[in-house]
Structure 1
Amino acid sequence: MNEDIKKIIDCLKESLKEDPSSIVFGKLNDGIGEINEANFLKLGKYYDLLSSTNGARCGDIDLWGYSELEKNQYVLSDIQDEKESWLSIGQILYEPLIINRFDGNVCEFIVDDGSMNCFGELDFFLKNYVFGSGYCKIIPNSEMDDWFLFLKKNGIISE
């Protein structure tokens, strides 16, 4: 994960701690410690995020913590390949959010029709959609969303 995203996460963690009402719309946990090599390989690029924040609630985007990952893999039963390329890492408005463990691309899996809406590599997704103005593109009516307003208040989004 690039340093800019780590700085954003650290900044937002502090701001969330200062505002007790933020628990409703946002939470960035402390990062996890080291894990065994087999689990590290299974997590792929998602490990970088877990080391900065072990799970997060970012408005209508939820990112699973390490302990939640295993129980949320059931959503992949119809798309998982023999290499087990996919890892379910969260949800956007209750639609599964998945990452390709090998190339780091993040997609929203639309359960109803089995399609995918891809957002690019993990760092791009985080910077532009979770912590950026792209949040408005994937979350309806987000201009008044508490997470979006929180990002603006903290100078993460300038629009």
Structure 2
Amino acid sequence: MNEDIKKTIDYLKEGLKEDPSNIVFGKLNDGIEGDREVNSLKVGKYFDLLNLTNGARCGDIDLWSYSELERNQYVLSDIQDEKESWLSIGQILYEPLIMNRFDGNVYRFNMDEDDTLMNCFGELDFFLKNYVFGSGYCIAIPNSEEDDWFLFLKKKGIISD
């Protein structure tokens, strides 16, 4: 995992602790750091994020903790292949957020009556830096200019005006 992302997560964890009401829109848990027996091969590159924050709520983006992963894999029933390439890692506005375990690319999985669409956000580090902790949050989350997470990122200087 990119050092800048590690620093950003540590910085934002401290910022969220400054005001208990921040829990309404943001929460970055402590990392697992070997506390549990985690199969890093099964979770792919997501393992690095779990070591930093074992689950997160970043405005309208939720990232599953290790204990939540298994019960949230049901969304993959129609796309999972024999290699089990896919891992459901969270949700954006209640739409599944999935990652290819082998290349680390993150997708928003949209299902409607007629079609299944997957919008790629790039590799996990890129997704975190640009969409979860960056100005790309506005691209992922419509009408987010007054969103509490977005305003928090601006207040903390992560996103410039």
TM-score for the superposition, normalised by structure 2: 0.96
Cα distance in 2 between the residues matched to 1:128 and 1:135: 7
Residues 17-56 of structure 1: per-residue CA shift (max 9 Å, x gap): 111110110000000032547x110010000000000000
Letter paired with 1:64: W
How far off its partner does 1:111 sit?
1.9
Cα distance in 2 between the residues matched to 1:142 and 1:128: 15
SS at match of 1:107: strand
SS at match of 2:145: helix
Given that residues 33 and 52 in structure 2 are in contact (C-alpha distance below 8 angstroms), is that contact kept between their aligned partners in structure 1? Answer: no
Q: Sequence identity of aligned pairs in percent?
A: 82
User: Structure 2 regions of 5+ residues with no counterpart?
Assistant: none
User: Structure 1 regions of 5+ residues with no counterpart?
Assistant: none
Cα distance in 2 between the residues matched to 1:74 and 1:65: 16
Alignment match, 2:81: 81
Please tell me whether residue 60 in structure 1 is matched to residue 60 in structure 2. yes
- Which is richer in helix? 1
Out of 133, 136, 154, the position equivalent to 2:135 is 133
Cα distance in 2 between the residues matched to 1:154 and 1:33: 26
SS at match of 2:102: coil
Cα distance in 2 between the residues matched to 1:68 and 1:141: 28
Cα distance in 2 between the residues matched to 1:33 and 1:126: 19
